[in-house]
Structure 1
Amino acid sequence: MKRGDWYYLYAAEGGTSVNHTEVVFRSQAPLGPFVPYEHNPILSQRELPRDRKNPITSAGHAQFVEGPDGKTYAIFLAVRPYEDNYYNTGRETFIVPVEWKDGWPVTVPGPSGVQYSYRANFPEVKLPGARPQSGNFAYTLTFERQLDPALLFLRTVDSSSFSLGKAKGLTLKLKPATVAETGSPAFIGKRQQHLYCTAETELTFAPKAANEKAGLVIFQDEKHFYYLCKSVDNGKPLLQLYKSTADAKQPERLAEAPLKSATASVQLRIQAQADAYSFSFSENGKAWTVLKDKVDGKFLSTQVAGGFIGCLFGMYATSSGQPTTNTAAFKWLKYEGNDPMYKKAQ
């Protein structure tokens, strides 16, 4: 970046975990030599108390931008652990003010580190029709004409595997591929954006065999996920909860419950509460039954699973390696985030 007579070279340093920082150098020639700022790093959370409340850690990979007020800001990546270095929301985007001190750009996140909000002297310009991306929010996605930009596929978009419509919503064709493999399963997901949040859907699905399953999955990678699904066992409909294992073909069944109807719709709910998840269902849309709660959320964390992309709530249907012509329909997908630290910031 060039500012005045100086060229600034800034870069991430220290790795992408808790030692992640941002450093800056400058020179009066674009090819250097560049001299480091004597007070580097200019952005860091690693020296702050680990037991501070609502920490934001692993800050780095900054990009300087000029705001509408002419001031400099740093947009960067960081994470929000709920305990030690455990987090399920992956790396997220943050912003802090920047002050120029003796010709050097220095971030000013505050004495307690990066904050959940900062007050700016210009109004927010909201994009028409855009979904909220920060703070607490709730919305329901329907699938009448097109998929919302917030929805994601695994590895590729297979347009032949789904259809949209006002009557049924999102219809997925069951595919032999599973999320426990590295292929392209019948899966459409939405990111978990809060430590405390809920995802719900209404599923219409009539499984014909035990290998056919459809429902909601909370997914970190092919070896770390929980799957709440409708299926059949000895011809009887039931709800099942599976946990992934190292063996893609042998997931662990954690819980199950019978259903009254093999063809009627059922509502599914996954609730995240930092280090725990709960899985519930309803057969009438009013009374909810908890299939299993306090399920280990750390199993889905970056600290355990690796990577730092975060979890997805996914609408998912599979025939578990067998050919089929069956389909599953998802009427809507509701997402609601309720992080207490956002409430304090707002």
Structure 2
Amino acid sequence: MKPTTTGEEPPITDAPRATSVQNPILAGFNPDPSICRVSDDYYLVNSSFAYFPGIPILHSKDLIHWEQIGAAIDRTEQVDLSEQGISRGFFAPAISYDDGWFYIICTLIDNGGNFIVRSRQPEGPYSEPYWLPELNGGIDPSLFFDKNGKAYVVYNHGAPDRKPLYSGHRTIRMRELNKETLQVVGEELLLVNGGVDISQEPVWIEAPHIYQKDGYYYLMCAEGGTGYNHSEVIFRSEKVSGPYVPHTENPILTQRHLDRNRPHPITTAGHADLVELPSGEWWAVFLACRPYRGDHFNTGRETFLAPVKWIDGWPVINPDFEEVQYEYPAPATAQTSTASVPLNGQFNYHIDFTQPLDPRWLFLRNVKEAWYQSDTDAGTLSLQLRPETIAERGNPSLMLRRQTHLNGQITTYMEFTPEQEQEMAGLLILQNQDHYYFINKTADKLQLLKQTEAGYETLAEQSYTPVGVHLRIEARGDQYNFSYSENGVDFTSLLDGVDATYLSTETAGGFVGCLYGLYATSNGEPSKAQAVFDYVEIKNE
């Protein structure tokens, strides 16, 4: 049966206070942030890998409350993600503004390389890609618009002459950009070889950004790899072409030197970008992680915010603390308003499908056919069962929301009458195609499946014949609990204490975080069956 209580619940509770910054500012899988300011508005993009729409665009008036306003890649004719692995696709986008245009530059790994899209409006629509084949294997590009009117692409590339001196030997390079054709011109310049001190064999110098201030060009990069040894380093030069001299107090941000056993750690801090406020304050956005045990985290690499101070002509991120803080006093831009769907702090929300789907829903690769239907009059979301599965590199009948908190839960109500034995639909928690848990309904039972490289492993099952069922996944740090209910009030455990580390990046690999999903599949066979969802409720602690 459907829930015993109906009607629309308040969509938002417990929005963050405008008097403080609550980290992460974008909770859950939101890595590789890049930011720009236009007047009193801030725009931010993150890596989205093989998820679609690609490269989400977020807007804020105060750096605290963020709302997704669009996506740079929202049409299949722009970029086709077919065959892209879940942790491939779009790497490290960067957003810039110049002379009335918003520019986003990004790497499509494995399928085309680097490209630029642009739009007069921050929310889009964005242009077809302008491809940059001359970068020839470079990644993590960003654009720099000089005050003299010239433009440049700065990016990570391999070792000089493709002869690395050690594993992880990379370089930072630059090409001039023709702003009319959006194609690179002139010679490639080598700005940084290896990192701050090549004699120490620094690894993975990447994610470069150039800034102008007080007569200097500042080149800021990530160094150390995107794991536990991640850091942010800075160089400067009197000319955009270099030579760039490293700061003697590098790194300007890292957490790798701190006690791994400290309470509530924030780790892997790096891949930063700087923004100056109208007040003259400077702040940094960067990625970091919240592990629940050791290096295990399921919420992925998230976006954090910290103040910046300029000391003796150099920027320092988080200057008054060793540890990145969960809370800072608000910047001078602080507003009293809240986002319509909060993306940080403690929040709950209830989706009853009486409104158009919000842009925080994600799909695995491009949606090329109409396999889902949102009926706002009925307040339902229907998923067509199709042969596609998550194990294949296509677009399965799967709709996803990020796991944003270490402790929380997602609940949904579904009505589903299978036509064939192999058909199933339900709720899952996904890390990648070989690592997810799936609580689902079949013709005559409920079951909890664990996806492995060898296929499904059945962890629990229970006879169940009603058409409708409420399904719940509860996150408790290093464990997940799976339960069900017929009436929406009294829930019965299908299995508790399921190992969450199996879905952690440390175990499963890759660059993404976990996502909750509504999933329906006929497992290789044609089907006319549908799974109909009545609501999705997410509660966090």
Contact 2:274/2:282 (CA < 8 Å) preserved in 1? yes
The 1:16–1:78 alpha-carbon spacing in structure 2 relative to 1, beyond 3 Å, is same
Q: Match for 2:453 among 246, 269, 280?
A: 246
TM-score by length of 2: 0.59
Q: Distance in 1 between matches of 2:319 and 2:461?
A: 48
Pick from 476, 479, 483 the counterpart of residue 276 of structure 1. 479
Deviation (angstroms), 1:209: 2.2
CA–CA separation in structure 2 for the residues paired with 1:151 and 1:126: 27
Structure 1 match to 2:490: 287
2:215 corresponds to: 5
Cα RMSD between the aligned structures?
1.5
Secondary structure of the structure 2 residue equivalent to 1:151: coil
Change in CA separation of 1:138 and 1:64 when aligned onto 2, cut-off 3 Å:
same
Partner of 2:302: 92
User: What amino acid is aligned across from residue 230 of structure 1 in structure 2?
Assistant: K
Amino acid paired to 1:179: I
Residue number in structure 1 paired with 2:531? 328
Distance 1:274 1:173, change over 3 A: same
Matched, 1:71 2:257: no
Please state how far the C-alpha of 1:274 moved relative to its aligned partner.
1.0
Specify the alignment match of 1:297 in structure 2: 500
2:449 counterpart SS class? strand
1:223 to 2:223 alignment: no
Structure 1 alignment gaps of length 5 or more: 339-346
Shift of residue 129, structure 1, vs aligned partner: 6.0
Deviation at 1:67, TM superposition (A): 2.7
Deviates more, 1:205-214 or 1:275-284: 205-214
**SS of equivalent to 1:160:** coil
Are residues 97 and 121 of structure 1, via their aligned partners in 2, closer, same or farther at CA, if it must alter by over 3 Å?
closer
- Aligned pair partner of 2:462 in 247, 251, 257: 257
Q: Name stretches of at least 5 consecutive residues in structure 2 with no aligned partner.
A: 1-210
Distance in 2, Cα, partners of 1:60 & 1:315: 32
1:203 equivalent in alignment to 2:426: no
Read off the aligned partner of 2:374 and give its amino acid letter.
L
Moved over 4 A (4+): 126-129
> Contact 2:309/2:319 (CA < 8 Å) preserved in 1?
no
Distance apart, 1:130 and its partner CA = 2.7
Contact 2:416 2:441 in 1 (8 A): yes
Whole-angstrom distance in 2 between the partners of 1:169 and 1:225: 25
CA distance in 1, matches of 2:427, 2:535: 12
Instruction: Report the counterpart of residue 182 of structure 1 in structure 2.
Output: 393
Q: How does 1:128-207 map to 2 (within 5 A)?
A: 130-165=340-375, 166-167=377-378, 169-207=380-418
CA offsets, 1:59-81, max 9 Å, x none?
Answer: 11110111343211111111111
- Over residues 303-336 of structure 1, what are the superposed CA-to-partner deviations in whole Å (9 max), with x where a residue is unaligned? 0111121011000000011111110101111111
Whole-angstrom CA distance in 2 between matches of 1:268 and 1:255? 14
Structure 1 stretch 205-214 or stretch 189-198: which is displaced more? 205-214
Distance between the aligned counterparts of 2:338 and 2:318, measured in 1?
32
Kept after mapping to 2: 8 A contact 1:109/1:115 = no
The answer on whether the counterparts of 1:21 and 1:60 sit within 8 Å (CA) in structure 2 is yes
Q: Which amino acid aligns with 1:301?
A: S
The amino acid of 1:59's aligned partner reads A
**CA-CA distance at 1:42 after TM superposition:** 0.2
Using the TM superposition, give the Cα deviation of residue 260 of structure 1 relative to its aligned residue in structure 2, in angstroms.
4.4
Q: 1:109 & 1:91 partners in 2: Cα distance?
A: 22
Structure 1 position 238, deviation (Å): 1.3
Task: Give the SS at the match of 1:304.
Answer: helix
> Does residue 279 of structure 2 align to residue 37 of structure 1?
no
Are 1:168 and 1:329, in contact at CA under 8 Å, matched by a contact in 2? no
State the distance in 1 between where 2:517 and 2:218 align. Answer: 43
Give the conservation status (yes or no) of the 8 Å contact 1:154–1:187.
yes
Higher deviation after alignment, 202-211 or 88-97? 202-211
Query: Which stretch shows the higher mean deviation, 167-176 or 289-298?
Result: 167-176
Map 1:115-130 onto structure 2 (within 5 A): 115-122=325-332, 124-125=334-335, 130=340
Are the structure 2 counterparts of residues 122 and 307 from structure 1 closer, same or farther at C-alpha, using a change threshold of 3 Å? same
Q: 8 Å contact 2:385–2:521 — kept in the other structure? A: yes
The structural deviation recorded for 1:128 is 7.2
- Equivalent in the alignment of 2:520: 317
The percent of aligned pairs where both chains have the same amino acid is: 46
Instruction: Label 1:260 to 1:326 Cα distance change in 2 as closer, same or farther (>3 A).
Output: closer
Whether the aligned pair in 2 keeps the contact of 1:180 and 1:244 (CA below 8 Å) is no
What residue number does 1:343 align with? none
Residue 131 of structure 1, CA deviation: 0.7
SS of the residue 1:239 aligns to: strand
1:37-74 alpha-carbon deviations (Å, 9 max, x no partner): 00100001001111111111111111011134321111
**Alpha-carbon contact 1:194-1:337 (below 8 Å) kept:** yes
- Which of 20, 25, 36 is residue 230 of structure 2 equivalent to? 20
CA–CA distance in 2 between the matches of 1:203 and 1:124?
Answer: 41
C-alpha distance in 2 between matches for 1:99 and 1:131: 31
Residue equivalent to 2:317: 107
Would you say how many aligned residue pairs link Structure 1 and Structure 2?
330
Retained in 2: the 8 A contact 1:270–1:278?
yes
**If the length of structure 1 is used for normalisation, what is the TM-score?**
0.92
Contact 1:174 1:327 in 2 (8 A): yes
User: CA–CA distance in 2 between the matches of 1:258 and 1:319?
Assistant: 20
Structure 1 residue 145 displacement after superposition: 4.4
Residue type of the alignment partner of 1:58: T
How far apart, in 2, do the equivalents of 1:224 and 1:154 lie? Answer: 15
**Taking structure 1 as reference, are residues 159 and 333 closer, same or farther at Cα in structure 2, changes over 3 Å only?**
farther
Distance 1:80 1:180, change over 3 A: same
1:257-285 residue CA offsets vs partner (Å, 9 max, x unmatched)? 12242x2x210000011111000000011
Q: Which amino acid aligns with 2:245?
A: V
Q: Secondary structure at the match of 1:118?
A: strand
Is the contact between residue 419 and residue 527 of structure 2 (CA under 8 Å) also seen in structure 1?
no
